[in-house]
Structure 1
């Protein structure tokens, strides 16, 4: 069966844990060969979506296809076409990187020689060749996550599910994982990425779906989502909190818009249309009124602002998804 233009299709997904509805009519379409981000507060249903699509959890309603195959009706065939990496690296720290990959290759029913060849290919692909024979316990967080990604790619899956793959990593480790993901997509893999890091979705995703209370409430490109809350904004940070009201009046008069203010950060911001003219006029007026400024500039909306506007809260707010925290390597294995 041809998978068609979409690697993942979910229509009206429902999942209940007791009286709690983890998913309540969730919809999603992921184009082949792209990264599709899935954003939402804790408890919105992100992990539940991944568990259903990767056949770890049965859906209670709706339908889902992965690589053109019905998830509920043919789960074993789905598992042969997917990889899954969870929130924490699931590699053996006692053995080496090479031994980890060979072990997973054998678990995927590859012969010894085939498993060794595939391990060598993945070590090179994920820039781990120099560390191939070191114990994983000596690896940095970013290296462990790259090795974890490599184990999920043993069978070169058509679709890879990444459930918050950079949780707990430092900036360098996150960048290492991002580069690995970009490499996979360049090779034709489709990625569904759940994350609470708005910058991560902004840098990696071709499209972003926002999930709230088990439903999709927005789905578009990062640029289009940002455009929903306007274009450029002028931002002024005054030196003294006492000058904030005066700065508010200046920015409101010049922009013709009602500014937002953050007293704790001593910040005033407002949307502008003619960005250069507005910036010039605000600077001149602040100088004329002798209002000391710590910083002033133009910037574009962030995904964090989009998320806050759409959901009314930040991505890290809320409580955990319903249901048990299954270990994630199971879904990539052929039964």
Structure 2
């Protein structure tokens, strides 16, 4: 309940605060008008004139703050769930979503889109991120199971780290070869949400929703898997099938979160730790709380990013790292929070 209340307050702060000063009463009128006039077919200028406000104020709330808030909520929840699933899949409490090479694959795909297609549209970047995440995870899955025929946490981890390092090295080399052309990639990698709108959110939100549903459906089998393979099999769980579903869910969640907000660090690692410290290792309680806490942290980081250097902004990725590092150091030193 405390987390839900914090999320409600932070969501309101995200909608009401920004680099452009808009009166709270005006923000409320704009949001109410947008909710009641959806599907009217009128553009921002017509709606602003109907409300007797400036078009700039209307666009600041509807075209900038609202999609930015939705992106922060969705990306935060997806990262929290992906981190919790990754820690169970690898049986490593310090695992994080990028361990399967998702972030590296997404960045590499964006570079290829710039090189081959001359891409500059956010929608193209989102599509490239999702495709790159799926291809990277598929490659890790094939490498990790090659010759063994089964999925093991050790093989997946090693394959993910190796492939991620290779793709990150190629991406860095290409970026350094032409820094001006790839300057937009630096903005994306920093997690700057000020450059993201509905054209970024709409393609990735359905992917994130499917990942959330799949992750929550895996809570029961994950509880069995944390007891070990033999015990899980004795309890009737299909170990290999569950691991494959975990890999798919992590790809959907981490890929969509990376497409929405860029490679945000620490969040997918920290939120499951906090949730495990509060409710224990039961995945049916841990997963929803991890998603909720991660969304809270992400929205809080986004609000702070707007206020720290107002009227300028700091990328959310930097704020999340500054918040996450000390909290994670404290949490991993707690005996209760250190194990799966």
TM-score bracket relative to the smaller structure: under 0.3
Larger Rg: 1
Taking structure 1 as the reference length, the TM-score comes to 0.23
* Structure number having the greater helix percentage: 2
- Of structures 1 and 2, the one scoring higher in RCO (CA 8 A, sep 6+) is 2
* Structure number having the greater strand percentage: 1
